Amino acid sequence: MSTAVRKCPICKRPAEAALAPFCSQRCADADLRQWLTGGYAIPARADDDESDDDLPPAPRDSED
C-alpha cells in the first residue's frame, strides 16, 4: 500500500494528518476564506451604479 500524501491545495505542501487536506491552520483558514468569499458573491460594485446625486428636495419655506 502506498501512502497517498495529500497536498495542501493552498501551498501544495504535504498535508498534515490532523489538518488534512491542509498543511497548516493558516492554509485551512485561507481556503475557508476563499471559499466563503467565492460562494457568497459579494456585490463589489454596489455603489457604482447608484449615485447619491438624488438629494431630497429641500423643504421650502416660501413666504408668499
Which cell numbers in the block locate residue 53? 446625486
Which residues are CB-neighbours of 6 under 8 A, at least 6 positions away? 14, 15, 20, 21
- CB closer to Zn ion out of 20 and 36: 20
Total number of residues shown for the chain: 64
Closest contact distance (angstroms) between CB of 2 and Zn ion is: 22
The residue range among 20-28, 31-39, 40-48, 53-61 that interacts with Zn ion, by the rule CB under 5 A, is 20-28
Verify binding: residue 11, Zn ion, rule CB under 5 A.
yes
| Residues engaged in binding Zn ion (CB under 5 A) | 8, 10-11, 23, 27
